[in-house]
Structures are given as structure tokens and as C-alpha cells.
Amino acid sequence: MDGLVSLFEALYSDPELWCDKDNDKIINKHRIKGSGRPWPIKSRETNVLLTREETLQKFNLAGFLKSESITFDVKKLLNYLKTVADMARVLLFIFTGMRKSEQLVMPFDCYKELDIPNFGGVSFLFSHTTKMAQDNYSGIVQWVTDPVAKKALEVAQAVTRINWIRITPNPFPVDQKTVPLWLSNYGARSGENYSHYDLPLGRSNFKAALESIEGICIEQSDIDELVTFDAFRDWDEDPKFAVGKKWPFSSHQGRRCVAVYGSRSGMVSLPSMGRQFKQVTLAMTALYSENSGFAESFILTEDGNVPEEYQVLSEFRDAQRLNASVAFEEHVIKSDSALLGGRGNEFQRQKENNMPAFLDSAENMKDKIRTGQAHYTPLPQGGGCMRATGPCEKHGIDWTFPCFGCKDAAYGSNTLIEYSESMKDSLSEMDADSLSYRFTSEKLEKIEVVLLKKGD
């Protein structure tokens, strides 16, 4: 991308480049004059003209344009740059969960990598978030992101530098926070006020950008996953989601992506998601994180709807419930081994005594989990906790299967077999005189007693 910036710097200063035809030199002079620069001085001309291909070779770009199937034409090249900038926007939406209004006002210099003690390096993007009115923005705030965002950012920065060259003769500012990341390709108009910056902001065209990418067509497996997430919508009947079509991306899908996959990972809490989405007060975060019984009604409007600023958090919570219900089906309903634990024993007795009744009861429980009327928290060791308020305080401290013997647990005997094998491996690496060895041994004995009884 640096080579492209250098190319445009040259094209807007030297009229003797990019000359395939006799009148190209005068066309180049008009391009330079149109950017606000003075008419090129004739005495400085050498009359040594370079063709378009020779110009590209000078900047080592001819092979690149050919590999991207870009004809040697300034307009075609600018269209390509617009497309890659839009692709960069898509990536930044997906890897931050930003709103469109927040991404639009990102400053040119907006990426940092910080080293957090006892954790490691973390990538951050900086921008502004809206407060009340559409044009009322906060000071600089940050979003956690992935290092891949740096690559997208470098593409956007290069395109903005090129747009700067095209619309103004001024050197690029030293204070880069005064320049928007998404600078428009047309100059500021006299008497017009611009939001946040004194420069016009460029708009995006996701559809055109995504149309140029191969391999992102909708497949049947995508439809199947959509049905899993929302079985009440007729995805097969929606023409936008027909198999073979390009995915109809919108900026809000990036936020949903972060919410849904953050929820599925089990590694992101709702308060953390609230901070990432820049949309909840401390009071609201506390209400959600404590599973308050009145948290839902607390945020509803008079007509009973969830305000837009809280919808993603609702989606995050709904995704957690859906994931929990799917895990319950896999761990309990479809378990191919005997169920153990307090709740697991109850389900196992139903299973053995009356399979139809068990299936009805289990399916009913799955629906309650999905709608938030009941709880099932999948656990790293396997199985899950059905405690109404989530895993107890022992989880995360007692790593030797804290749910063993708990009245709220449900897990298959296969889970115990696998876990006992893991504990045996751990014992082989422990000091036989240590407390941890004794503690693990006692737990392992209890587990093996249960497995022995089940074997009988």
C-alpha cells in the first residue's frame, strides 16, 4: 500500500508520468491543478514521458495491478481502493462490534498494542461514541480488538493518504488525530459544516465490496445454522438468504457477531460485553450481571420494547440461553451414558422408567432454558450445572470436578471416566507427600466408587 501512496504523490506532482497518448500530459496537468496545486512549471519539465506501464514499473506496481486484474487506468485503480477500504470497514466491524456512527469518526491514528501485566499483549482501537444527539460525540474511548485489525487499519490509512493527496495540496498533518480514518475522496466545501472533523467523511458500500470476494456465498450449512439460532423465521423463504447468493452484510451484523460468538465462547461476561459495546451504565451492568429479576422490565420502554441501545445485550443474553439449551440437549437428552449428579439422577430415573415421559420432560426443560425460565451452565469438565444462579463459588477454585455429588449437577458417566483418567495423569506428576496429591487422591477414590457402582 505504501507503493500506491508514493504513486499518487508522483501523479499529482509530475505531469510527465502516466502518458500513453499525446494529450495525456495536458490531462495530467489538469488533474494536478484540480487538486489545488499550482499549474506545473514548464521550465522544470524534461520532456521524457513515461507510459502507464513504465510509471507502474518505476514504483514496482505493474505486477501487483496485473495480479489483481486492474487495468492501467486511474479511475479503475481508485475504484479498487474504494473496494479494499470498504473491506477494511467490514473487518473492523466484525473485530470490534462498533456501531456505524462510532466507526465513521475513527481518527487516522487509532491503534495501539498495550502489554497488560500477567496477561500479555492486547490490541486496542480508539474512536468516539455518541452520547445523546447524533453529532454529540464523547472523548476518545477504546475497543478491544484482534491484531488482524491492524492490517485492515493500514489499508484504510493508505487509502486516506491517497484521498488527501487528491483533494488538497497541503502536506499530511503531523497531528494525525485531526484527520479522519475514512476521509472522503472529495474536498471540503466552503460554508459546509462537517461532523467531528473539519473534513468530509467517506461513506461505504458493503455490497459492492463483498460482491468482489469469492467464496462467501451462502451455503445450506449457513441456512441450517440460522435455523438453529432462530427457528421461528422462515429463512428458506427469504430471497436475501437464498443458497448461492452473497451474504447480505450490514454494520449491525458485526455487533451481533461479537455478541453471539463472545457468548458461545463462554469466556466473555455480559458486563465485559457492555463495556466493549459502550452502551451500559454501571447500574445496568450490575443489574444484568446479577441476573436481577427486574432487570428486563427496568430497561423496557412504555410500549414494552427494548431500546436500541440495549438490543445487542439482549441478543447476547439470548445467545447464551440458546447455547445453553443446545448444550443441555447434547449433554443430557442425547447422552449415551448413564446420567449422574443430583439432577442427572432424576433424569436417569425418568429415562429408565418411562422414556416418552423423560423426552417430554427434557424437551420442556430445554425450552425453559432457552427462554430463561430455567438454567443450564455447561462446564469445562463436561456436563453442566442447573443451579438457578449459575455455577457456585467452588467453580474455578476446586478444579477436581467441583460438581461431583452436587444436587444441581447433571453429567454423563463418560464424563467421570474421562475425568478420572485425567486425574490419574495429574497424580503421576505430583509430589506424593503434597496436599494437592492427597486431595486429588481422595476425590479420585470417590469418583471410582461411583463408577464401580454404576458398573455393577
In tens, the pLDDT along 291-346 reads: 333 344 444 555 656 555 455 556 667 777 888 888 888 888 888 888 888 888 88
Q: What is the pLDDT of residue 58?
A: 92
Residue 150 predicted with pLDDT over 90 = yes
Query: Which residues are bridge partners to 107 per DSSP?
Result: 180
CB 416 within 8 A of CB 442: no
Q: pLDDT > 70: what percent of the chain?
A: 76
Q: How far apart (Å, rounded) are the C-alpha atoms in residues 357 and 379?
A: 26
Q: What is the pLDDT of residue 446?
A: 79
Annotate 188-215 with b (16+ C-beta within 10 A) or e (fewer): eeeeeeeebbebbbbebebeebbeeeee
Q: What is the pLDDT of residue 316?
A: 65
pLDDT, tens digit, 9 for 90 and up, residues 347-402: 888 888 888 888 888 888 888 888 888 888 877 667 888 887 766 666 543 444 55
- Residue 193 CA, chain-centre distance (Å), reads 33
Q: What is the pLDDT of residue 233?
A: 67
Contacts of 165 (CB under 8 A, 6+ apart): 5, 8, 9, 12, 35
Region 397-415: mean pLDDT is: 69
DSSP characters over 78-145:
HHHHHHHHHHHHHHHHHTT---HHHHHT-BSS-EEEEEETTTEEEEEEEE--B-SSTT-B-S-EEEEE
Three-state DSSP class for residue 183: strand
CB 92 within 8 A of CB 214: no
Residue 421 predicted with pLDDT over 80 = no
Q: What is the pLDDT of residue 437?
A: 77
Alpha helices in 133-248 (DSSP H): 148-167, 206-211, 220-229
Chain position carrying cell 422462515 = 234
In the chain the first and final C-alpha atoms are separated, in Å, by 70
CB 59 within 8 A of CB 7: yes
Q: What is the pLDDT of residue 428?
A: 74
Q: What is the pLDDT of residue 154?
A: 95
Q: How far apart (Å, rounded) are the C-alpha atoms in residues 110 and 241?
A: 35
CB 202 within 8 A of CB 182: yes
Among 178-182, 246-250, 293-297, 452-456, which is the least confidently predicted range? 293-297
The overall pTM is greater than 0.95: no
Among 137-141, 207-211, 216-220, 276-280, which is the least confidently predicted range? 276-280
Mean pLDDT of the chain: 78
Q: How far apart (Å, rounded) are the C-alpha atoms in residues 188 and 161?
A: 15
Q: What is the pLDDT of residue 455?
A: 55
DSSP secondary structure letter of residue 270? H
DSSP secondary structure letter of residue 361? H
One-letter amino acid for residue 290 of the chain: E
Residue 158 predicted with pLDDT over 50 = yes
Work out the pLDDT band at 454, boundaries 50, 70, 90: low
Neighbours of 393 (CB within 10 A): 8
Q: How far apart (Å, rounded) are the C-alpha atoms in residues 134 and 100?
A: 12
Q: How far apart (Å, rounded) are the C-alpha atoms in residues 40 and 306?
A: 60
CB 410 within 8 A of CB 362: no
Among 80-94, 127-141, 149-163, 166-180, which is the least confidently predicted range? 127-141
Cell of 207: 455490497
Region 201-220: mean pLDDT is: 80
More reliable by pLDDT, 417 or 8? 8
Nearest to 70 by CA among 59, 88, 83, 86: 83
Region 406-414: mean pLDDT is: 83
Domain boundaries, the chain: 93-154+169-205, 213-317, 335-455
169-175 own/partner pairs: CB under 8 Å, 24+ apart: 169/35, 169/36, 169/37, 169/38
Region of residue 447 (left: phi > 0; alpha: psi -120 to 50; beta: else): alpha
More reliable by pLDDT, 295 or 19? 19
pLDDT, tens digit, 9 for 90 and up, residues 213-249: 777 888 888 888 777 666 556 777 788 888 888 888 8
Work out the pLDDT band at 60, boundaries 50, 70, 90: very high
CB 98 within 8 A of CB 143: yes
Binning the chain into helix, strand and coil, the percentages to the nearest 5 are: 50, 10, 40
Query: Which residues are bridge partners to 410 per DSSP?
Result: 384
Cell of 113: 498494542
Three-state DSSP class for residue 378: strand
Q: What is the pLDDT of residue 283?
A: 40
Residue 170 predicted with pLDDT over 50 = yes
Work out the pLDDT band at 197, boundaries 50, 70, 90: confident
Residue 132 predicted with pLDDT over 90 = no
CB 105 within 8 A of CB 195: yes
Nearest to 108 by CA among 203, 176, 196, 184: 176
Q: How far apart (Å, rounded) are the C-alpha atoms in residues 77 and 83?
A: 10
Region 257-263: mean pLDDT is: 69
Query: Which residues are bridge partners to 201 per DSSP?
Result: 183
